[in-house]
């Protein structure tokens, strides 16, 4: 359940017939004992008619009205939604062992190669092994440091593009450029490649995966409709999965050939100096002493996880940050002054500078509070559990709304106001985003916390800092409201929170000489 199904006329007619059919028994009526409160439901579809994209905003409105823990009936399925810091803490910390699984939808099963990936793998030996591998090797500090030049070169490439636009006085679709930035970074970190058409195919397919993964599929919730594919969504899932599988096979096959050539007699090198993520995964797959034997499908599932988790959410976070800064010129000016003071104007700010820029870090925290990249963390109960005094049955989907935790008035003053200065106040100064402070958990928390925290905290602050150091920004035509401010409405982004309209701006060169020249 990531976004609302926009019901086709056929589906609407089908459900209308079901509602009036005398042979249909209202299955949900007797199942509410001990459950949290919720909105009034209707037969068969339950609360589906209440859900509207963006889903995190809808759930926030519902929990504001009906309580910090509510029940929603989605067809024959039960979903519990949290709307407060305290309820999120109970799910992700107090009862973490009871919510150690993620719900598996039709789309998730396809793209995870059933359970071969990491994000949707069942909690167990394989999942624990891959998490350790991820945290220590794949996305660990050493690997991220070794691959830093890749991220630096892609940021530099984006700045050159923006400089050309600035010289010409042209608008640029920065949303598109930021997706290109993060996708290129991940492609090169995974397989040391962004060759021509391959990079463009990767960006297109990653976008399609995020969309279909985040599309509400009625078959996940109304059992007697399974197999009919009344939305045509399952066919699209299969098509997108086939395209991504072809892309991944291309990456793996090319890597295997390169590794074979490098280790053959007369090869260029016995071992790469800096290994990309695919090298690391293939090393593990070929290691006879590995704790868990990983297969080709495990490798493809994990690479897909990295692409889908790292591309859109990081790009969207930078996009929202720059949007808020453009709408708050005083805050933008203050950030630029900090960068000028600490870095100067003759070199480009980089990842190593981020710890020395406290206002930049406050801006990033505030963006992740008010615009979390992936605003809902989904879990499924593995056993009957009590949350907030209510009974949560086993096999119940729980939607932990990170958008709501960042706006809980019990923990945040002026929760809807973009104000980075709050993080210099005593009550907020020690908060971080790594999952320990439940009022600020943009990456989730507990066993299923996002393993890409370290990657995001390298890419987002450094990328944002470079953009505001090098350019001022003029709002593009047709993207401002009547007051001349950027329209900040959220769109239907599926798993990720996007602007409803692309961020179209004119970059204005700020430094002379430009630090890249």
3-class SS of residue 380: strand
Closest residue by Cα to residue 469 from 348, 360, 353, 365: 348
Q: Which residues contact 304 (CB under 8 A, 6 or more apart)?
A: 111, 112, 117, 209, 244, 248
Q: Are 244 and 24 in contact (CB under 8 A)?
A: no
DSSP state of 291: S
Q: How many CB atoms lie within 10 A of CB 148?
A: 15
DSSP state of 138: I
Is the four-CA dihedral 202, 207, 209, 210 of positive or negative sign? positive
134 is in an annotated binding site: no
Q: Are 37 and 67 in contact (CB under 8 A)?
A: yes
The two structure tokens encoding residue 362 = 């406050």
The two structure tokens encoding residue 307 = 């692409």
Closest residue by Cα to residue 228 from 371, 14, 76, 26: 14
CA distances (Å), origin 65, targets 59, 60, 72: 10, 9, 13
Strands (E), 253-396: 376-380, 385-387, 390-392
Q: What residues form the annotated binding site?
A: 450
Q: What residues form the annotated binding site for heme?
A: 450
């Amino acid at each position: 359940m990531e976004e609302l199904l926009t019901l086709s006329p056929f589906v609407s007619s089908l459900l209308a017939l079901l509602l009036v059919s005398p042979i249909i028994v209202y299955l949900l009526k007797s199942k509410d004992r001990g459950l949290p409160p919720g909105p009034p439901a209707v037969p068969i579809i339950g609360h589906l008619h209440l859900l509207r994209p963006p889903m995190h905003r809808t759930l926030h409105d519902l929990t504001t009205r009906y309580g910090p823990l509510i029940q929603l009936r989605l067809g024959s399925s039960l979903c519990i939604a949290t709307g407060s810091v305290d309820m999120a803490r109970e799910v992700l910390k107090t009862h973490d062992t009871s919510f150690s699984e993620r719900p598996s939808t039709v789309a998730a099963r396809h793209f995870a190669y059933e359970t071969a990936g990491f994000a949707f793998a069942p909690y167990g030996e394989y999942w624990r092994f891959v998490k350790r591998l991820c945290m220590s090797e794949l996305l660990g500090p050493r690997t991220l440091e070794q691959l830093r030049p890749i991220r630096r070169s892609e940021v530099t490439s984006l700045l050159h593009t923006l400089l050309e636009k600035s010289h010409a006085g042209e608008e640029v679709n920065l949303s598109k450029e930021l997706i290109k930035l993060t996708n290129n970074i991940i492609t090169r970190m995974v397989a040391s490649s962004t060759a021509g058409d391959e990079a463009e195919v990767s960006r297109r397919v990653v976008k399609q995966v995020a969309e279909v993964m985040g599309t509400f599929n009625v078959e996940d919730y109304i059992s007697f409709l399974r197999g009919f594919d009344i939305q045509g969504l399952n066919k699209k899932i299969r098509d997108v999965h086939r395209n991504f599988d072809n892309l991944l096979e291309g990456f793996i096959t090319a890597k295997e050939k390169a590794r074979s050539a490098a280790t053959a007699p007369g090869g260029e090198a016995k071992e790469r100096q800096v290994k990309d993520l695919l090298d690391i995964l293939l090393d593990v797959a070929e290691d006879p002493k590995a704790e868990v034997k990983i297969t080709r499908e495990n490798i493809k599932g994990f690479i897909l996880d990295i692409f889908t988790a790292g591309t859109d959410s990081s790009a969207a976070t930078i996009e929202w940050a720059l949007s808020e800064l453009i709408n708050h010129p005083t805050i933008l000016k203050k950030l630029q002054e900090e960068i000028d003071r600490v870095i100067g104007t003759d070199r480009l700010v980089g990842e190593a500078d981020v710890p020395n820029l406290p206002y930049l870090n406050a801006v990033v925290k505030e963006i992740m509070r008010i615009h979390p990249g992936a605003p809902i963390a989904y879990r499924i109960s593995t056993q009957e559990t009590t949350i907030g005094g209510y009974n949560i049955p086993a096999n119940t989907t729980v939607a932990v709304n990170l958008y709501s935790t960042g706006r809980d008035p019990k923990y945040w003053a002026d929760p809807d106001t973009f104000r980075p200065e709050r993080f210099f106040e005593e009550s907020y100064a020690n908060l971080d985003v790594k999952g320990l402070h439940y009022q600020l958990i943009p990456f989730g928390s507990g066993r299923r916390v996002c393993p890409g925290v370290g990657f995001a905290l390298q890419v987002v602050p450094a990328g944002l800092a470079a953009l505001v150091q090098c350019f001022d920004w003029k709002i593009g035509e047709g993207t401002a409201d009547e007051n001349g401010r950027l329209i900040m409405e959220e769109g239907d982004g599926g798993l990720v929170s996007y602007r409803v309209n692309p961020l179209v701006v004119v970059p204005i060169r700020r430094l002379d000489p430009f630090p890249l020249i």
